[in-house]
């Protein structure tokens, strides 16, 4: 089932409309809440395609369903049973095993690319746009941000943050302030060493070689600092 300009969100049945041919009233995030009162809520019709075509089977009060709302017609509202919806995802772009998925948003764009927000029992929450990239909030609370570009991944793991790869990266990040402190001390020590070498006629030649190397080394310290990425010690 391909839905264009529509939003699919979870909802809870609040009331069955009497003689309404399968119509219900429901609460749904971003649409209606229990506090609105069922008397002012519009009826929601059964989705006219798939297993519910002309059957008007009706869910029970407090049962969870999918609510489909259309951007160009806010009053066009339909409901679908949660256990029925995955069977209709014939063009689902993420997995062949759709039975464990709870899809909150499933949208196709004009270029036939998909944007999907769903929950998976194994993987947790997933926001994905075709194969271009996705954000995965895993069951353990870790977060993966991935793109189609090589080494353009951020993985907020359980015990670390990895840049460029999924899982722990091969190398460790360095604290610039600590490195600058060390580099400044090293350049200061080299200055002292160069002066000592220059003051001794037996080592003056070594001092003459070392002295011109110190200033270029100092100039290389500041450009190493990133203006866009910061890290926390330990």
Let me know whether 49 and 120 are in one domain: no
Burial of 68 (0-12, 13-18, 19+ CB in 10 A): buried
Domain boundary among 163, 194, 214: 163
Mean pLDDT of 75-94: 61
Which of 14-18, 82-86, 170-174, 194-198 is the most confident on average? 194-198
Residue 168 lies in a domain: no
131 lies in some domain:
yes
Residues 26 and 46 grouped into a single domain: yes
Whether residue 21 is predicted with pLDDT greater than 80 in this model: the reply is no
Do 182 and 216 belong together in one domain?
Answer: yes
User: Is there a single domain that holds both residue 49 and residue 78?
Assistant: yes
Tell me, rounded to whole angstroms, the distance of Cα 152 from its chain centroid. Answer: 14
Residues with Cβ within 8 Å of residue 64, at least 6 apart in sequence: 10, 11, 12, 13, 82
pLDDT in tens, 146-197: 888 878 889 998 888 888 888 888 888 888 888 889 999 999 999 999 999 9
- Give the pLDDT band (50/70/90) at residue 105: low
Whether 114 and 182 map to the same domain: the answer is no
8-35 exposure pattern, b = at least 16 Cβ within 10 A, e = fewer: bbbbbbbeebeebebbbbbbbeebbeee
Q: Is residue 232 part of a domain?
A: no
Which of 85, 113, 144 is the last residue in one of the domains? 85
For residues 84 and 88, what is the distance between their CA atoms, to the nearest angstrom?
7
Query: 10 Å Cβ neighbour count for 50?
Result: 15
- Structural domain including 101 reads 89-163
CA proximity to 11, closest of 67, 62, 53, 50: 67
Instruction: Please give the Cα distance from 34 to 41 (Å, whole number).
Output: 10
| CATH classification at residue 72 | 2.40.50
Same domain, 103 and 158: yes
Residue 171: inside a domain: no
Could you say which of 29, 61, 85 is where a domain stops? 85
Confidence tier at 204 by pLDDT (50, 70, 90): very high
Q: Are strands 64-70 and 45-46 parallel, antiparallel or unpaired?
A: unpaired
User: Is the model's pTM score more than 0.75?
Assistant: no
Q: How confident is the model at residue 107 (pLDDT cuts 50, 70, 90)?
A: low
Number of domains present in the structure of the chain: 3
Name the residue with higher pLDDT: 103 or 73.
Answer: 73
């Amino acid at each position: 089932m391909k839905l264009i300009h529509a939003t699919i969100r979870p909802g809870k049945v609040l009331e069955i409309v009497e003689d309404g041919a399968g119509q219900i009233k429901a609460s749904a995030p971003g649409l209606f809440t229990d506090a609105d009162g069922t008397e002012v809520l519009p009826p929601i019709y059964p989705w006219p395609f798939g297993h519910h075509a002309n059957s008007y089977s009706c869910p029970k009060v407090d049962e969870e369903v999918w609510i489909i709302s259309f951007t160009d017609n806010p009053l066009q509202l339909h409901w679908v049973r949660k256990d029925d919806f995955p069977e209709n995802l014939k063009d689902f772009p993420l997995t062949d095993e759709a039975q464990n998925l709870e899809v909150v948003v499933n949208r196709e764009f004009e270029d036939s690319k998909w944007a999907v927000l769903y929950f998976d029992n194994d993987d947790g929450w997933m926001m994905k746009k075709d194969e271009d990239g996705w954000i995965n909030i895993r069951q353990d609370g870790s977060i993966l941000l991935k793109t189609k570009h090589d080494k353009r991944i951020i993985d907020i793991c359980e015990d670390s943050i990895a840049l460029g790869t999924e899982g722990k990266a091969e190398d460790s990040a360095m604290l610039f302030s600590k490195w600058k402190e060390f580099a400044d001390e090293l350049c200061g020590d080299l200055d002292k060493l160069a002066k000592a070498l220059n003051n001794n006629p037996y080592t003056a030649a070594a001092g003459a070689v070392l002295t011109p190397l110190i200033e270029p080394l100092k100039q290389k310290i500041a450009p190493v600092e990133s203006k866009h990425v910061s890290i926390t010690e330990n």
